[in-house]
A and B are shown apart, each in its own frame.
Chain A
Amino acid sequence: MFLGWTAVAAVNPQALTQLGNAGPHGFSEMLYLYTSSTGNNKSAFAGISANTMFFNITGAVAMFVGRFFMIIPAMAIAGSLVEKKSIPASTGTFPTTGGLFIGLVVGVILIVGGLTFFPALALGPLVEHLIMTAGTLF
């Protein structure tokens, strides 16, 4: 959701006029807007005019799918798990307490999430930071 809409906005001329800042910062603005729409509450950077027709409609679609539509698959997973038998613990059971489990969950989230969003992040926040430390601002 975030990646798709960011891609659309990046080439849409109407959207581009709404950006307050150019270059990577502008990109980060769009990326953040859609990230926030899909996962949270469509907060946005100050530089972008978020209350415009283009961003309002696209942001709303992103929110509808990302926040509400996602409820259906999550409930389906829960429903499928409820029907499974519960097996008593034994030495073959993987403990869900303890450092190993925490480490595994965090690691998987970081790696799989990272792999998905790394290109976008590289083009937005990352490169902006590097440029900023070299002296140029947007």
Chain B
Amino acid sequence: MDTSKLRKRMPVSTLFDPKIVGPAIGQAFVKLNPATLIKNPVIFVLEVVTALTTVLLVRDLVQHHTDVGFTFQIVLWLWFTVLFANFAEAVAEGRGKAQADSLRKTRTETGAKRILMPDNYEVYEGVSAEDLQAGDLVVCEAGDIIPGDGDVIQGIASVNEAAITGESAPVIRESGGDRSAVTGGTTVISDRIVIRITSSPGSSFLDRMIKLVEGAERQKTPNEIALNILLIGLTIIFVFATATIPSYATYAGGAISVVILVALFVTLIPTTIGALLSAIGIAGMDRLVRFNVLAMSGRAVEAAGDVDTLLLDKTETVTFGDRLATEVIVVPGVTEREAAEAALLASDADETAEGRSIITLVQEKYNVRRQVAPAGAKFITFSAMTRLSGVDIGARKLRKGAIDSVLKFAREQAGHDVPEPPTFRAAVDKIARSGGTPLGLAEGSRILGVIHLKDVIKPDVKDRFAALRRMGIKTVMITGDNPVTAAAIASEAGVDDFIAQATPEDKLRYIRGEQTQGRLIAMCGDGTNDAPALAQADVGVCMQTGTQAAREAGNMVDLDSDPTKLIEVVEIGKQLLMTRGALTTFSIANDVAKYFAIIPAIFLTFYPQLAVLNVMQLATPQSAILSAIIFNALIIIALIPLALKGVTYRPIGAGALLRRNLLVYGLGGIVLPFIGIKAINLLVNALHLV
């Protein structure tokens, strides 16, 4: 997937940006508070046993035991382990805060013009943006910053949304229709609109996103809760495994110091994944924001990782919203030039995109120059009743429009039934079958030809659909067009399936159908009529250009209004789960090597024969234990970049992906600590630390 085409709004900061690392170190100490640490059970247990050993250390110091140096170093490194765990979380939160700050900058101290009387939009008072409540009406004119999220209820204006989306081209916001939603912090460029505020202060879209990115109000997602239960279970098992050892030692005729037992316990419990779990979750949300997607909850992102089907609107998502003219087909007896000139004149005053595209087509393809309309020309604008538009120049009456309307016009002009020219119907059918719209062209009672209006498919869309298919996601296109047109567009765009002549109820019904079959379905939409479907879908992505109702109904907003952005969302969702799994596997696999370091060290005094288990040939029992503890602490720091960046996701099937990750993190997790502990042991002995 080519990420270079996607505009990333936030700059990607280097992983150890000093501005973030500094405060994070301070935060690591603040987080030592047991009341906050209890949210992370594994690290909390670690802190408890570390405190216990500190007490023992103090006792040893007071009683002048001989082995104080060793005990002191163990306790020191245990505290480092707790601090490193806190540091990991603080770094992730720090990066989130940096993004939140840039989001917050868009919410400067703005003033608002609040309308006093609902029936008089001219009288208003100046208030601060924070005083606005949901339901207030405000006026915004050229140059004003929109004070809060809301709907346009009167007027039309062009709005610069660069503060939120980074896109510098202004967009149109108008009352009624699908483009009525405005976001707080954007600037009105021209004209005047009246807005009804829909969010109370502090809970606007932007506020919720900021809280989410900062990790302040982050709730644990179902996957995190399940993983936490697993980790707690493992910790309990290891408590038993360690607590029974003193009795075994007594049986064997000796005693093992509590400090050593604690050391064994600490190396066994999954501290690595316990330390990095929250950092992974926070970093995942940040990555989403970097792709210009605002998610309302971590749950939505995880659900996105498992999506099976994607439902897309045709207009504005698969195709550009406006149709473009691509050719003029003439009937026998009419020259191309004649028809082209007629089309040009008939479209001269046409303000629609279709009309302008006809003018462009005629100028470029048929080389007819646009001339000033002759005096006395009367333009007929398009009306939904006649479905025709055109121009009357003197005695010439030129019309273009729906086929049957044009035929009717020709008949009226002739006064009698006019036969269709021979190839006319064939051309019309051909255009309809290929997915376009035929526009008839007539002068007086003479049919001149057909103009082919085509739905233009957005350029990259086909590749993106192929990428979705590789991930195992089915794409379905929904459109109100007739089945023939829909089929043509569907095959050209490369979607897997389509639904034609669809009403909003049809969308809802399809989503429910997929869900009863047990599939997870994602939907992209922007209009208010999409809101029920967006709410029902498991993952509802609303376009930034959509209405307020659609945004409230969905659980994500795409600031780029790109429907295939779901690819990135799915990737990040899967990445989150994969990273957690990979680091859990690594953490548990590490334990194997640590056992081989510590068990011989502990029991050597009772049974010297156990030295054969000392596969790493560690020098003394004490250096072995110290090396294992040091490794345990350092591996957390070493894995922070991986936790923040996430495991790379490749769109191969689940089996292949698992095999690959198991090899890397499972086997690697078994092998790496052997090397690491041995290396640290060499260093410890060289420095005569023990």
A-to-B contact residues, CB < 8 Å? 3-4, 6-8, 10-11, 16, 24, 26-27, 85-88, 90-95, 98, 100, 104, 107, 111-112, 114-120, 122-123, 126-127, 130-131, 134
Contacts and interface: CB of A to CB of B under 8 A. Distances in A.
Given A87-B519, A115-B591, A116-B238, A123 B306 contact: no
A111 B248 contact: no
Contacts of B653: 91-92
Contacts of A115: 238, 241, 268, 588, 591-592, 595
Contact of B607 (A16, A91, A130): A130
Contacts of B599: 118-119, 122
19 contacts: A10-B247, A86-B518, A88-B519, A92-B306, A92-B472, A93-B654, A100-B658, A100-B662, A104-B658, A111-B589, A111-B591, A115-B268, A116-B240, A118-B595, A119-B244, A122-B613, A127-B603, A127-B610, A130-B607
A10 B243 CA distance: 13
Interface string B587-628: 011011001000100110011011011000000000000000
Nearest to B596: A118
Contacts of A111: 588-589, 591-592
Nearest to A92: B472
Interface in B648-669: 653-655, 658-659, 662, 666
B250 interface: yes
B517 A94 contact: no
Given A85-B518, A88-B517, A120 B244 contact: yes
B252 interface: yes
Q: Is the interface of B mostly helix, strand, loop or mixed?
A: helix
Given A123-B252, A130-B612, A4 B244 contact: yes
B251 A90 contact: no
Given A116-B238, A118-B599, 19 more contacts: A6-B244, A7-B244, A10-B248, A11-B247, A16-B251, A91-B653, A92-B306, A93-B654, A94-B658, A104-B662, A112-B234, A114-B592, A119-B241, A120-B244, A122-B603, A123-B603, A126-B613, A130-B610, A134-B609
Interface in B471-517: 471-472, 517
A118 to B, nearest CB: 5
A131 B606 CA distance: 12
A92 B655 CA distance: 8
A68 to B, nearest CB: 20
B308 interface: yes
A7 B655 contact: no
Residue from the set B246, B251, B471, B518 with the largest chain A CB neighbour count within 10 Å: B251
Contacts of B671: none
Contact of B609 (A7, A120, A127): A127
Interface in B575-592: 588-589, 591-592
B123 interface: no
A85 to B, nearest CB: 5
A70 to B, nearest CB: 15
A6 B252 CA distance: 13
A117 B244 CA distance: 11
Contact of B472 (A8, A90, A117): A90
A87 B518 contact: yes
Contacts of A127: 603, 607, 609-610
B245 interface: yes
A122 B654 contact: no
A106 to B, nearest CB: 12
B241 A3 contact: yes
A114 to B, nearest CB: 7
B176 to A, nearest CB: 41
Contacts of A87: 308, 518-519
B446 to A, nearest CB: 58
B588 A112 contact: yes
Interface of B: 234, 237-238, 240-248, 250-252, 268, 306, 308, 471-472, 517-519, 588-589, 591-592, 595, 599, 602-603, 606-607, 609-610, 612-613, 653-655, 658-659, 662, 666
Nearest to B247: A7
B610 A122 contact: yes
Contacts of B659: 100
A11 B234 CA distance: 26
A109 to B, nearest CB: 12
A11 B249 CA distance: 10
A134 B607 CA distance: 12
A66 to B, nearest CB: 14
Contacts of A10: 247-248, 250-251
A84 B658 CA distance: 23
Contacts of A130: 607, 609-610, 612
Contacts of B613: 122, 126
Contacts of A85: 518
Contact of A119 (B245, B306, B589, B609): B245
B614 to A, nearest CB: 12
A6 B247 CA distance: 9
A126 B600 CA distance: 11
A11 B251 contact: yes
B250 A11 contact: yes
Contacts of A16: 251
A95 B655 contact: yes
What 7 pairs between A and B have smallest CB-CB spacing? Answer: A91-B472, A7-B247, A10-B251, A7-B244, A130-B609, A87-B518, A3-B244
Contacts of B662: 100, 104
A98 B244 contact: no
A26 B250 CA distance: 13
A112 B585 CA distance: 11
A87 B61 CA distance: 61
Contact of B248 (A27, A92, A95, A131): A27
A10 B247 CA distance: 6
B587 to A, nearest CB: 11
A26 B251 CA distance: 10
Given A7-B244, A8-B247, A122-B610, A92 B603 contact: no
Nearest to B651: A91
A88 B589 CA distance: 32
Given A7-B248, A111-B592, A115-B241, A88 B609 contact: no
B607 A119 contact: no
Residue from the set A24, A92, A98, A117 with the largest chain B CB neighbour count within 10 Å: A92
Nearest to A131: B609
Contacts of A27: 248, 251-252
Contacts of B306: 92
A91 B241 contact: no
B171 to A, nearest CB: 36
A90 to B, nearest CB: 5
A3 B666 contact: no
Contacts of B609: 127, 130-131, 134
A94 B655 CA distance: 5
Contacts of B519: 87-88
A122 B613 CA distance: 9
A16 to B, nearest CB: 8
Contacts of B471: 91-92
B180 to A, nearest CB: 38
B260 to A, nearest CB: 12
Contacts of A8: 247
